[in-house]
Amino acid sequence: MSIHKEEIKSALSQVLHPKYEKDLITLDLVQDLIIQDKYVAFTLEMPQKDDSLADYLKKECGKAIHKFVDKEAVLDITIGINISRQRELDGDDAGQQHTQQQAPQEPILPGVKNVIAVASGKGGVGKSTVAANLAVALSQTGAKVGLLDTDIYGPSVPTMFDVKERPNITTQKKLVPIEKHGVHLVSMGFLVDTDQAMIWRGPMVTSAVKQFMQEVEWGELDYLILDLPPGTGDIQLTIVQTVPLTGAVIVSTPQTVALDDARKGVAMFSKVNVPVLGIIENMSYFVPDDAPEKKYYIFGKHGARKLAQKLEVPFLGEVPLREQIRETSDSGTPVVAADPASPSAIALKEIANRVQQTVSIQTQSESSNSKVDIKIRP
Ligand SMILES: Nc1ncnc2c1ncn2[C@@H]1O[C@H](COP(=O)(O)OP(=O)(O)O)[C@@H](O)[C@H]1O
Ligand SMILES: [Mg+2]
């Protein structure tokens, strides 16, 4: 018998928060509930770091689930610090109750200025190709860039960057990214055998990604690009909620089916308040090598551009469908590094510039709003 979300919620509604004297469900502290057979994973949101309270609540959740739902349930409870919840939970008497200073926050990626997720609703639309070229193009502008390939079922970085070696581990047991074409690379494919990964379930993937955030020696980076697995399901949702994202870009082809999925992507990010930096259209038109002046709109014309207008998100540009883009990716040097003056590379570099501009606008407007909505999940 598999466990249902409602059963877990009902068990957790028996757990009282000692400070607010209400249960965890009423307080809306249980997020990202994922269940696979007996595996139950969720995030318990806390407005500030408090290890002893966290341990207490974890224990109580375990007791309630084992007692009311299934004594064999395997629990994976993550504590998420969401400081914007403080006022909400404390209500009007915040000032009276909190004479004590907030515990200093421990950031998840301390040296990283901007984290950008590259997502797509569908697989095979060129998300990894765009992510790889975006990373290289940003590093060509002088920025320090990392690329984390979180696609455990189909990692692309080992092929696209021709990485055959295994990464080094520091004495603090942190993984050192491999540097190629100016980009600091980490891929699930460096460590996990893809055949073996096929049997991994969603919650295992998300906890592996969390580990990758924290146990990699990223150092100082201007941009960390996340190549997300295709789709807009629980895995993607949990990943984007684990990381303090600056924003997300969505890759789509101009086809209706891909656009429908791109729309879901935009909706997913909006739901979790991650700014959508824009939509990139890949495979916009085919340019034959023997007639480079021609453009064939084989998947339809301007589909993603129109979608961006409709959803009122920026349109970041078009990437042509060209043999050279596939060839360079397959041979381990993304086109912006392999042939920087080619029309394909120029298109991708323009997109990188627009991403850079959008990020700086985004960061400026955020700091002027002095919005505090950082999610840190230790
Ligand atoms: N603009 C393009 N022109 C030619 N081939 C492309 C282009 N974009 C992607 N490809 C190729 O299409 C395939 C799928 O791309 P990939 O980036 O792996 O997609 P995803 O990450 O969305 O699954 C790869 O073989 C890649 O080289
Ligand atoms: Mg991919």
Q: Are residues 82 and 119 in the same domain?
A: no
Q: Are residues 233 and 332 in the same domain?
A: yes
Looking at ligand 1, which atom is closest to the CA of residue 330? Answer: 27
Region 248-273 average pLDDT: 88
Instruction: Judge whether 227 lies within some domain.
Output: yes
Rounded CA separation 376/244 (Å): 7
Q: Are residues 154 and 13 in the same domain?
A: no
Q: Are residues 72 and 133 in the same domain?
A: no
129 CA distance to ligand 1 centroid (A)? 5
- Cα atoms in the Cβ-side hemisphere of radius 13 Å centred on 21: 0
145 CA distance to ligand 1 centroid (A)? 21
Pairing of strands 183-187, 178-180: antiparallel
DSSP symbol at 176: P
The residue contributing the CA closest to ligand 1 atom 15 is 126
321 CA distance to ligand 1 centroid (A)? 9
Instruction: Judge whether 107 lies within some domain.
Output: no
Query: Which pLDDT band holds residue 371 (cuts at 50, 70, 90)?
Result: very low
The amino acid occupying position 252 is S
Q: Are residues 120 and 47 in the same domain?
A: no
Q: Are residues 338 and 365 in the same domain?
A: yes
- Residue 304: predicted pLDDT: 92
Q: Are residues 148 and 50 in the same domain?
A: no
293 CA distance to ligand 1 centroid (A)? 22
Q: Are residues 130 and 228 in the same domain?
A: yes
Provide the 10 A C-beta neighbour count for residue 272: 15
DSSP symbol at 17: P
Which ranges in 141-246 belong to alpha helices (H)? 157-160, 188-191, 194-197, 202-214, 234-242
Instruction: Judge whether 49 lies within some domain.
Output: yes
Q: Are residues 341 and 248 in the same domain?
A: yes
What does the block give as tokens for 205? 């993937």
59 lies in which domain range?
5-94
The answer to which of 156-170, 205-219, 357-371 has the lowest mean pLDDT is 357-371
pLDDT-above-90 percentage for the chain: 53
Cβ-contact 160, 128 below 8 angstroms: yes
Ligand nearest to the CA of 189: 2
pLDDT at 95 over 60: no
Instruction: Judge whether 106 lies within some domain.
Output: no
83 CA distance to ligand 2 centroid (A)? 33
44-58 pLDDT, tens per residue? 888 787 889 999 999
44 CA distance to ligand 2 centroid (A)? 31
Q: Are residues 87 and 148 in the same domain?
A: no
Q: Which residue would you say has higher pLDDT here, 178 or 189?
A: 178
Looking at ligand 1, which atom is closest to the CA of residue 131? Answer: 17
H or E element at residue 34: strand 30-36
283 CA distance to ligand 1 centroid (A)? 8
Smallest Cα–Cα separation from 105: which of 76, 78, 84? 84
The answer to which of 46-55, 116-125, 156-165 has the lowest mean pLDDT is 46-55
Cβ-contact 44, 60 below 8 angstroms: no
326 CA distance to ligand 1 centroid (A)? 6
Instruction: Judge whether 47 lies within some domain.
Output: yes
The CATH number for 173's domain is 3.40.50.300
Backbone angle region of 290, left / alpha / beta, with phi > 0 → left and psi within -120 to 50 → alpha: alpha
120, 122, 129, 226, best to mutate for ligand 1 pocket (most atoms within 8 Å of CB)? 129
Looking at ligand 1, which atom is closest to the CA of residue 129? Answer: 17
Cβ-contact 262, 120 below 8 angstroms: yes
What does the block give as tokens for 13? 């509604």
Ligand 1 lined by 183 (C-beta under 6 Å): no
Ligand 1 lined by 128 (C-beta under 6 Å): yes
Q: Which residue would you say has higher pLDDT here, 101 or 82?
A: 82
pLDDT at 265 over 60: yes
Instruction: Judge whether 101 lies within some domain.
Output: no
pLDDT at 275 over 80: yes
- Residue 153: predicted pLDDT: 77
The residue contributing the CA closest to ligand 1 atom 3 is 321
Q: 0.75 cut: is pTM over it?
A: no
**63-69 — which CB contacts under 8 Å span 24+ positions?**
64/11, 64/12, 64/14, 64/15, 65/8, 65/11, 65/12, 65/40, 67/11, 68/7, 68/10, 68/11, 68/14, 69/3, 69/7, 69/8, 69/11
Region 290-300 average pLDDT: 91
162-188 pLDDT, tens per residue? 998 888 988 888 889 999 999 999 998
Number of domains in the chain: 2
Ligand 1 lined by 139 (C-beta under 6 Å): no
Region 112-130 average pLDDT: 93
What does the block give as tokens for 352? 């990188």
Ligand 1 lined by 157 (C-beta under 6 Å): no
Q: Which of 67, 94, 121 is the last residue of a domain?
A: 94
pLDDT at 297 over 50: yes
With b for 16 or more beta-carbon neighbours within 10 A and e for fewer, the 324-347 pattern comes to bbeebbeebbbbbbbbeebebbeb
Query: Which pLDDT band holds residue 375 (cuts at 50, 70, 90)?
Result: very low
Handedness of CA 110, 56, 235, 33 (dihedral sign): negative
Cβ-contact 202, 232 below 8 angstroms: no
Rounded CA separation 153/235 (Å): 12
Q: Are residues 76 and 117 in the same domain?
A: no
Q: Are residues 90 and 165 in the same domain?
A: no
- Residue 200: predicted pLDDT: 63
Instruction: Judge whether 271 lies within some domain.
Output: yes
The CATH number for 19's domain is 3.30.300.130
pLDDT-above-70 percentage for the chain: 87
Query: Which pLDDT band holds residue 344 (cuts at 50, 70, 90)?
Result: very high
Instruction: Judge whether 99 lies within some domain.
Output: no
pLDDT at 83 over 60: yes
pLDDT at 93 over 50: no
Q: Which of 94, 122, 155 is the last residue of a domain?
A: 94
Q: Tokens 């209500």 label which residue?
A: 91
Q: In the predicted model, what is the mean pLDDT of the chain?
A: 86
The residue contributing the CA closest to ligand 1 atom 24 is 326
